[in-house]
Structure 1
Amino acid sequence: MGADDKISNKAEELGGKVKEGAGRATGNESLEAEGRADQADSNLKQAGEKAKEGMKKVKDAFKS
């Protein structure tokens, strides 16, 4: 995963946490749910990038 992707995904995750907290603090269930969805989306992207990294390592191991 590139550094840009890591930063972008982490920023999205943190933004989701802020939204969720703001929604919880204000009683806005929609904002809270949106924050959780942002976090889930970010986590999914991170998992996909990690899977790609793992496959690349396996591929590189067989090249040698």
Structure 2
Amino acid sequence: MRDLMAELKELRLHGMATAWAELTAQGESNTASSKWLLEHLLEQEHTDRAMRSVSHQMNMAKLPMHRDLA
């Protein structure tokens, strides 16, 4: 089971972590669909941050541009 609170804090989404804590305090019936959505959003956020990191590293490496010989 994923610890959503820890993931939200790790991503520095403290406002969302607080909102999630309040939602889970209301009861389990309200959080079933919300948990599914939040898990998918966190997965996409991790993927997006990884892609932006690679893009930034490629730009900082200042590799020469690819040029065709034609």
Normalising by structure 1, report the TM-score: 0.52
Runs of 5+ in structure 1 lacking a partner? 1-12
Normalising by structure 2, report the TM-score: 0.48
**Among residues 34, 46, 50, which one is paired with 2:53 in the alignment?**
50
Give 1 or 2: higher helix fraction.
1
Identity %: 12
| Number of residue pairs matched by the alignment | 48
The higher-RCO structure (CA 8 Å, 6+ apart) is: 1
Runs of 5+ in structure 2 lacking a partner? 1-11, 65-70
Root-mean-square deviation over aligned CA pairs? 2.6
CA deviation after TM superposition for structure 1 residue 45, in Å: 0.8
* Runs of 4 or more consecutive aligned structure 1 residues displaced over 6 Å after TM superposition: none
